[in-house]
A = this chain, B = another copy of it.
Amino acid sequence: MATIKDVAERAGVSVMTVSRVINNSRYVSQETREKVERAMKELGYVPNALAHGLITKRTHVLGLIVSDITNPFFTTIARGVEDTAIKNGFNIILCNTDEDVEKEEKYIDLLLRKRVEGIILSPADCNKRDGIERIIMRNVPLVLIDRCIDGLNLDCVYSDSISGAYELTKYLVSLGHKRIGIIVGPRRISTARDRIEGYKKALQEAGIPIDEALIRWGEKYSREDGYKNTKELLATNSPPTAIFGGNRLITVGILKAIRELGLKIPDDISVVSFDEVEDMSVTNPFLTVVSQDSYKMGVIAVECLLKRIKEKDKSFNAPQNIVLQPELVIRESCRALKEVKGESLVEF
């Protein structure tokens, strides 16, 4: 494998001159430059980024840590991240934690060893600060995405779960629903808590008492969470008239359960979702959702990170939360109810 030294010898110049050519320095005569470039081509020379990075302390690599790239929400974030990174000359190392804090810590360690210049993290547990603090201690720029960490002032890009859930719930309430089931992710994740908060807020505003039995915390924001909890919710004596899916995976589980039970949407039960469900939104757009622009989240996160990298050790701008507003998209998955005498509900 040819090194800079080999190129220098072949071109009959010093390694320093070759280095200047590689890095497009002025101060190289056209003639010399051509000689060097010819030598590089002839030798099939590829600069060694390790050696370069060892000296310059710049690797042009960012780390992206999410729970599961297979979740289209994170896939799209990843695409936004990668596009923006490459546009700025950075590569992305991808990490899947599966909502496991230990895996997350291992990834953080690996990324730190590899001297990534910044990390975009969607934390597996919004209460745990160990991993994050190691990043900060090492002075590696960090931007949180989708989920925030309690009591830690950090750059964070996320959508407004409280308001999104509020809107969705309020919409259901406006249709006459009073018993609304909601299935979200685990308590340790900020979006789950926020979505419950928005849900409660809408009910309280409408003077509807909150029934804790209708609130379901899942284990992993997964299809299985949606499926299992829907079955349970609908097996009770007083089942909900509507179900709120806390993310797209949960919603898919909900739809599966409802299908198996032979119920029709919206005739037998109404459904809303936090987040679009892929493909379905184009092939059969019937689901009422709150939709977030996850690609944009990825773009903004990298832009924010790049800014931090540039101003590193120079300025000290306070960290900021960048909050995107999700958009309510009303389609056909909810039915209007009318209350008739007492508690029973009847169609219009």
Residues of A within 8 A of B (CB): 1, 44, 46-51, 53-54, 59, 61, 68-70, 72, 75-76, 78-79, 82-83, 86, 91-96, 107, 109-115, 134, 137-139, 223, 252, 255-256, 259, 277-280, 282-284
Contact = CB atoms under 8 A, between A and B. Distances in A.
A279 B280 contact: yes
B280 A259 contact: no
Contacts of A255: 282-284
Contacts of A68: 79
A103 to B, nearest CB: 8
A124 to B, nearest CB: 15
Contacts of A61: 93, 114
A94 B209 CA distance: 48
Contacts of A69: 69, 75, 78-79, 82
Given A252-B279, A252-B282, A109 B46 contact: yes
A97 to B, nearest CB: 10
Given A138-B1, A259-B284, A277-B279, A79 B53 contact: no
Given A93-B61, A94-B92, A49 B114 contact: yes
Number of copies: 2
A65 to B, nearest CB: 11
Contact of A50 (B54, B86, B283): B54
Contacts of A54: 48, 50-51, 54
Contacts of A1: 138-139
Contact of A48 (B70, B79, B92, B113): B113
Q: Among A69, A82, A91, A137, which residue has the most Cβ atoms of chain B within 10 A?
A: A91
Which 4 A-B pairs have CB atoms at the shortest separation, nearest pair first? A255-B283, A49-B113, A50-B54, A94-B94
Given A50-B59, A61-B93, A78-B94, A223 B282 contact: yes
Contacts of A96: 79, 82-83
B280 A256 contact: no
A7 to B, nearest CB: 14
A89 B283 CA distance: 41
Contact of A70 (B53, B79, B283): B79
A69 B46 CA distance: 27
Given A49-B115, A82-B95, A252-B282, 17 more contacts: A46-B112, A46-B138, A48-B115, A49-B113, A50-B50, A50-B59, A69-B82, A70-B75, A72-B75, A72-B278, A83-B96, A86-B107, A91-B93, A91-B110, A92-B94, A255-B284, A259-B283
